[in-house]
A and B are shown apart, each in its own frame.
Chain A
Amino acid sequence: MSKRWTGGCQCGAVRYAFSEKPTDACICHCRMCQKQFGNFFGSFAGAHKDKFRVTRGTFSHFKSSDGAERYFCKDCGTPLGMKNLSKEFIFVSIGSLDRHGEFRPENQYGAEARETWLVEVIGTSCSVTGGYPGDDAARLQMIKSTNLQHPDHDTESWPPR
């Protein structure tokens, strides 16, 4: 496995690499980021665009305003990142990074749109996969054996099967 800072979408059609560790890990609660990610916030880390390249497929984009382009995979929808068009810095979504666990955010932006109850989510009960009502061991095994998600590392070929 490569030592590079790599990532990509869920289906594997799009893969990217940074030649240095992305910085500026953050989350943004603004409604633009919420809607792009279909979530309570977007999460980002990035680097100068010269340190970034797409290694498989294409970053599709939606120009959400004259200020920014937002990237995704057209084949599976994974939100891949965004770029402020006036800057040379490109952000990728933390969840799309293979080594996502190494990008603890340092800041929150868009505080005006932060869900008022976000802090309470942390206090809710959390179960391991298989704990969702109706899940059982057989179902988990089925999901595992038919998993079509691209692994968290580069692969020689795609699609995998």
Chain B
Amino acid sequence: MTPTQWTGGCQCGAVRYELLERPTGAHICHCRMCQKAFGNFFAALVGVPRDKFKLTRGAISNFKSSADVQRGFCRDCGTPLTFDDLTENRISVSIGSLDQHSEYKPQAQYGLESREPWFNEIVALPAHTSGEDASGVTAYAKRLPHFAATNRQHPDHDTDEWPITRK
């Protein structure tokens, strides 16, 4: 992997992609179509011209959510991967699937009509690191090393082979 690549993929690693230039137009969309496709409060997307998107491993499965739009995902683990308006020369990828996801701070929000009314309160909620909750360190914390050792999530960079064979 070279640091100038823009790569990403699904949770299990069956699907990997590369963008041939830095994606732009980072945004989130609260419309109910995006909410449901992503199982969440919004979708987070950033895009490139279609010819700058290259699949490097596996295949993207698509659900055509309406006549002109297909939404791509991994059939092996479900990660939402793409938003593809077939009438445009542009394709968007889910920011969370990008290896360098933190570089894509959204610049705009869409779908205001279905934004959850309490959305703006989310960031002020009590926040806990993994293994902690409101009562402090949980019993679950002791098991985190075991989960880390058995983690089957693909790492945030390209790999030579898949599935990854664990030592």
Contacts and interface: CB of A to CB of B under 8 A. Distances in A.
B39 A93 contact: yes
Contact of A127 (B110, B117, B151): B110
B66 A76 contact: no
A22 B127 CA distance: 21
Contacts of A101: 116-117
Interface in B35-56: 35-44
Q: A interface, how many residues as a size bin?
A: 35 or more
Contacts, number: 264
A132 B110 contact: yes
Q: B interface, how many residues as a size bin?
A: 35 or more
B24 interface: no
Given A65-B152, A76-B73, A40 B129 contact: no
Contact of B125 (A40, A42, A106, A132): A106
Given A67-B146, A78-B39, A121-B105, 12 more contacts: A10-B37, A32-B11, A43-B41, A64-B151, A79-B79, A96-B36, A124-B106, A124-B107, A128-B112, A129-B31, A148-B64, A148-B66
